[in-house]
Structure 1
């Protein structure tokens, strides 16, 4: 069973906040979440002089907290135990990372607007620095989740994501599909037959799937799809498979084994995050990686 002791929801006072709060309620109604923290940071250094002259010594934190509380009261009815946290720190991502550690947050919900509305720079920073799993909710995404896609590369991180996806699918009665993107050494064509290369590559991958099913019998019955990269990146193929299969949730495992934080996220999750997709993206760290 998936149990979320503490969940953090990052709000930015934009029109996506209401959707995030409502989606959080949907999560709490379907999964055991013990407590939710609705969080916003006021970067006072970015307030203009005009603002200061107009509003003077107004207690901005109190006003923001009241605004968020109103949204929560309207869209979180029937949710779980929760708290609104508003701070005034110069660095938002560091502040939120501290909250994750302080409250032992297991999952952070992060909204994402389309690229023509936002650069997504803060979101990218949060993905790289927060020591917990992250659920990215695009502004165009649906609350209704029935079909889950989990790409794997047979690493420990992707297997962890797969096992979590299977638990989620069993608990919520969702449809789960596994996919693997493989590439061929095209520099050897036409020295070897492309048809034979494809056949051999798929034989190797099918062998890996059989070994995986032996080690983790709970995923033995989950259907999987082999997709050839064929000139496209892994992220592009995953995006195409999302649309083709009409999936409602994408789950990716994060390795996090690089000591340099800016390099630990991985190229595939970074590229997918930067795409304009309509599907919620669950980026999963294992407890071992977080420790």
Structure 2
């Protein structure tokens, strides 16, 4: 069973905040979440002189806190214990990383606007500095989740993401599909026919799946799909499969091999984050990685 002691929701006072708070509510209704922190950091130095002249000595922190509390009251209610935290610090990444460590946050929800509206620079930074798993919610995503896709490469990190996804699907009665994207060793063509190479590659991957199912019998009946990368990247193949399969959530494991304080996303999760997908993206660090980072 998935139990989250502390969940953090990052708000930016834009229209997406309402969806993020409502999404947090849906998570709390599906999973055991003990406390939720709704957070926002005010960068006072970014306020224009015109703003300061118009509003004078207004208590901006209290005003922002009140605005967020109104949204939380309307969209979240009293589903579980929660708290609104508003700060005034020059560096948002630092203050949020400190909150994660102070309150032992296990999962952070982060909104993501489409690329034509935002560069996503802050989100990219947060993904690398927050010592916890991240759930990225695009502004076009639906709140209701019924079908989950978890791509794996048979590494320990992807297997961890798969087992979490299986727990999630069992706990919330969701459909789960495993996906693996494989490449052919093109340097051997035309010495080996492409048909034989594809047959051999599929044979090898199926053997890996069989071994994985023997080791983790709880995933033995989960359907899996093999997709050849061909002339596209792994992330592009995942995106196409998401659109074709009508999935509502994508789960990816994160490696965390880089020296602290940075955490390593890996090339595929990074590319997926920078893609305008329309489903939430759950980027999962294992517990061991989190311990090393804190």
**TM-score normalised by L of structure 1:** 0.98
How many aligned positions are there?
291
Which is further off, 266-275 or 252-261? Answer: 252-261
Aligned residue number for residue 287 of structure 1: 287
Aligned residue number for residue 92 of structure 2: 92
Aligned residue number for residue 19 of structure 1: 19
Aligned residue number for residue 61 of structure 2: 61
Aligned residue number for residue 188 of structure 2: 188
Shift of the alpha carbon at 1:261?
Answer: 5.5
**TM-score normalised by L of structure 2:** 0.97
- Asked whether the 8 Å contact 2:39–2:85 carries over to 1, the reply is yes
CA–CA distance in 1 between the matches of 2:24 and 2:260? 31
Aligned CA distance change for structure 1 residues 103 and 115 (closer, same or farther; 3 Å): same
Shift of the alpha carbon at 1:187?
Answer: 2.4
TM alignment of 1:92-171, pairs within 5 A:
92-171=92-171
- Asked whether the 8 Å contact 2:107–2:134 carries over to 1, the reply is yes
Please say if 1:203 is aligned against 2:215.
no
Which is further off, 132-141 or 43-52? Answer: 43-52
- Asked whether the 8 Å contact 1:25–1:78 carries over to 2, the reply is no
Calculate the aligned-residue CA RMSD, in Å: 1.0
Please say if 1:41 is aligned against 2:41.
yes
Shift of the alpha carbon at 1:157?
Answer: 0.4
Aligned residue number for residue 81 of structure 1: 81
Aligned residue number for residue 232 of structure 1: 232
CA–CA distance in 1 between the matches of 2:66 and 2:212? 51
CA–CA distance in 1 between the matches of 2:4 and 2:239? 28
Runs of 4+ residues over 4 Å off in structure 1: 260-263
CA–CA distance in 1 between the matches of 2:253 and 2:239? 16
CA–CA distance in 2 between the matches of 1:41 and 1:261? 21
Aligned residue number for residue 278 of structure 1: 278
